Chains A and B, each alone.
Chain A
Amino acid sequence: MSEMPLLQVKNLHTSFFTDAGEVKAVNGISYNLDAGKVLGIVGESGSGKSVSAYSVLRILTDTGRVKEGEVLFKGENILKYSEQQMQKFRGSRISIIFQDPMTCLNPTFSIGSQLREAIRIHTDRNKEEIQARALEMLQLVGVNEPEKRLKQYPHELSGGMRQRVMIAMALACEPDILIADEPTTALDVTIQAQILELMQDLQRKLGMAIIMITHDLGVIADMCDEIIVMYGGKVCERGTADEIFYNPRHEYTKGLIRSIPRISEKHEKLIPISGSPVDLLNLPKGCAFAARCDHAMKICLEQPPEEVRVNDFHIAACWNNVKQMMDEAKDGEET
């Protein structure tokens, strides 16, 4: 038996129960994450990428509930944990940083106070040690004048600085996994690059695994070991970064790649994916992407696609693959 993955998500279903009805945000996703690896989860708004991460940490809002599935951390199902166990788990084993650093820090507490709190919760260090650790963390994430920053309040820092503070807070207790939920979306492009570089650098130094959630394939291209493409709360395609980029086998992935702007000699037009995201209140019975897909067939509207192994490093859930394989098989018979 091969070594057990650090994190296994199995057939996870999460819904929000609202006045309008049940919003099915995540509909049976599964993935494994090995220690020290970087997993990218890509998809547009409403594809369920963030909700799947919040489900793992159980920090959904009141109306959200995990309906089905397992989340195994080192073989233990953390969905079965009590709230107390979960409080010890969050921030110490799995940490998370969020999209908008402008609103994610509490405006009424100093940076130092919030950073020290994160350390105090999970360790029994004394005051001086906690202060020293807080300072060390700020230095580690490249915050200038760390002593001064500890005394400042969030509104006195820039967006990039605040995201660095968030990263410092998340990594203060040396978690095994860092979930980064669109960590650069709200930042300037130049700062985006800095933050991504910092995360890669920290990953090499500290060796934690990272789940990188983004809507921007370009952002994570050279940092992920594996990439999952999500649509309508389901996994469309999963594979190594190279496979996803150079051999996409799902129409949605292909659309995503076409819509990445490139700098090249000739002026190429960007090709957007037409249509609007799938209505999670009324999921179609077939493939969720079928309504926007240029290559949709009859079966796409009627049956959800099965996952097909493209090769050892690549799985895709698209009927077109099945069709292609059947065509190939037929050709083989004929020749």
Chain B
Amino acid sequence: MDMTERKRKERQLIATTVLALVIFAAGLLFLPILTEKILLGAVLVLIAGALFFTNNTGRYVCKRILLAFLTIFIIAAITFFTMNAIPGGPFSKEKAPSAAVQAVLEERFHLNEPVGKQFLLYLEGLMQGNFGISTKTGREISTTIFDSFSISAKLGGMAALLAIVLGVLLGSIAALNRAKAADRVIIFFTTLFVAVPSFIMATLLLLVFCLQLNWFPIFSTENQSYVLPVIALMLSPMSYITRLTKTSMLDVLGQDYIRTARAKGVKQWLVIFKHALRNALIPVITYVGPMTAYILTGSMVVESVFTTGGLGTKFVQGITNRDYPMIMGTTIFLAMLMVTATLLSDLVYKLVDPRIDFD
């Protein structure tokens, strides 16, 4: 880009920022609620950024975040309407309360309104940062999500970290010892772990280590032992990463630039862990982003087997209880995590592979 072009873009940028600030100020005056003002301001700034940032990456990030809003809106709509399309509701049970009580409850949760109106009301609450309250427990959904997510995040964080570190390490070892004993053992077990579903793995772990060996307590809401759930969560993604890393490492080790590095006199371990691994990780990163989000939000089945009380458990409970606000809250939260994780992995991609241009 030449200088005049750049100057023109900069002038445009300043102009839009001023315009955005003016609209934002107007919003401050006319919109009644603070969170809505902030949201509006953010969207305006993002639009300005997406249009006029001189930096490709900056423009790309703005566009992606704007798209993320849209994605989450669509997910919210689909969930809301399918949820409502299923017969029955939060208060239709065998032992139903009296008609009067039910009417009061329905009034409180706007269930007497048409579905479209309900959705608009829900969105309005959401814009104010309000996820509503649970129809089952009466607690704030946001508190429940926050509490249960802190458990899931701890479990999932450890599992994701272990899966990535061990997966990359084992994959590299397998690639470097191709067709030797180490490679065969690693590939045998990783194939096994990829094939066995996580709930069977979780149950097996429980049977062996809790019932037979008595190493860990079976149920424990206090004095949580994270060991088994973390293992059950991480085995399958770790195995997948191992296999991905091995394949891509083998491909990279045959490349000409690896020969160049050796010919320069680079030490063997540096050739592998600097020159080869950086290139070998490119396909792995694509998988790691969504995987991390998936593990972080808690694999529902594994959490149920170990009764960890994490987000996954709450999600499943929400569905069985027809707890509409809980289902919406957890879904939207998961969607946000997933969108953030994919965006982050795309950005890491750019960091590792300079050939990627976001324009």
Contacts and interface: CB of A to CB of B under 8 A. Distances in A.
B257 interface: yes
Contacts of B262: 59, 90
A91 interface: yes
A108 B265 contact: no
Interface string A90-104: 111001101010011
Interface stretch (A116-124, A284-292, A302-310): A116-124
Interface string B221-257: 0000000000000000000000000000000001111
Given A59-B259, A100-B256, A103-B255, A108 B264 contact: no
B265 A121 contact: yes
Nearest to B268: A83
A100 B255 CA distance: 11
A210 interface: no
B191 interface: no
A107 B259 contact: no
Contacts of A95: 263-264
Contact of B257 (A57, A90, A104, A155): A104
Interface centre among A83, A107, A122, by most chain B C-beta atoms within 10 angstroms, is A107
B354 A107 contact: yes
A245 interface: no
A103 B257 CA distance: 6
A118 B261 CA distance: 9
Given A59-B259, A98-B260, A153-B355, A106 B279 contact: yes
A212 interface: no
A107 B266 contact: no
A98 B259 contact: yes
B267 to A, nearest CB: 6
Contacts of B279: 106-108
Given A153-B354, A153-B355, A155-B354, A106 B257 contact: yes
B264 A118 contact: yes
Contacts of B165: none
Contacts of A105: 257, 260
Contacts of A121: 264-266
28 contacts: A59-B259, A87-B267, A89-B265, A90-B262, A90-B265, A91-B264, A92-B265, A95-B263, A95-B264, A96-B263, A98-B256, A98-B260, A104-B256, A104-B257, A104-B259, A105-B260, A106-B261, A106-B278, A107-B257, A107-B279, A108-B278, A108-B353, A117-B266, A121-B264, A121-B266, A122-B265, A153-B355, A169-B264
Given A59-B259, A95-B263, A107-B355, 13 more contacts: A87-B266, A90-B263, A91-B265, A92-B265, A96-B263, A98-B259, A103-B256, A105-B257, A107-B257, A108-B279, A109-B275, A153-B355, A169-B264
